[in-house]
Structure 1
Amino acid sequence: MLINGASGGVGTFAVQIARIFDARVTAVCSGANAALVQGLGADLVIDYTGEDFTNGNERYDLIFDAVAKASWAACKKVLTPQGRYVTTLPTFAVLLNQFLIGCLTAQKARIVMARPNARDMEWLKGQIEAGRIRIVIDREYPLAQIREALAYSEAGKAKGKVVLRIC
């Protein structure tokens, strides 16, 4: 599988969870973050500043796009015939595929939204306690600096989570 945005707050978890399930992980991030995602379990790193994964020869069964920087049309080119594209940030093309024309094609685009539940939270807690998942925190801000925290997070350069301290 390929994880686009592998060094961000969602991507760092995705890399580690994929490895728990024995997936071969190709991570897309900047070269500056390559060591981080390799340390989390990525098998291969593509530096997006020098290479566009959608122009490569590799084909993926699953693309998890945590940053929505590559279009669904571009990603389809590097999916296997039955491949899946999953994103946390849907575009019109992804919505169209999921709800209208997806039934006509073997390649599928899907939106994933977090729906926390007790069972999943217990599983995550167990993985963290066992050391299989590490929480990567880039920066921590006090509540008074919420605007700065949001601006930093939205800039798309965070390595892991941006934490807002409320007490």
Structure 2
Amino acid sequence: MNKQAIINIIKAKITDKIQNFENLIAETRASNNDTKSSMGDKYETGREMLQQEINNLQRQLNETLNQQAVLQKITSDPSEKVQNGALVKTDKGLFYISASMGEISIDKQKIMTVSAESPLVKAMFGKKMGETFTINNIHQNIENIW
């Protein structure tokens, strides 16, 4: 498995997501400036709603920047056990432990990217090839780790 290709795809997705949030924040700020008027309280409510939207977008941007920081620390070196940066094959699927960006496809294989904070990863963290773990009463066998 080419872990560097996986890392590159995730980095590209995160960069796109950051750019999107930055654009949305800029557009929302511009709308907020457009609503400034001397017409009274009706516009104050609209501006407050826009400010809440900006705050929400800023929070999501910060989460994405944190994911980017986690990804910067990950290398494509082989892993002996389940840890950050490990590609883990269980009898239920392929999981790449880094930033949670959903499902990606490489060489027609579906890989689920998951955060080290997820319950799934917490259940398998530190385990080695051949070991098993259980989550939600579902037993999984670790078949391979890259």
Task: Check whether TM > 0.5.
Answer: no
Rg larger for: 2
TM-score bin (small chain): under 0.3
- Please report the TM-score for the alignment, with normalisation by the length of structure 1: 0.23
TM-score norm. by structure 2 comes to: 0.25
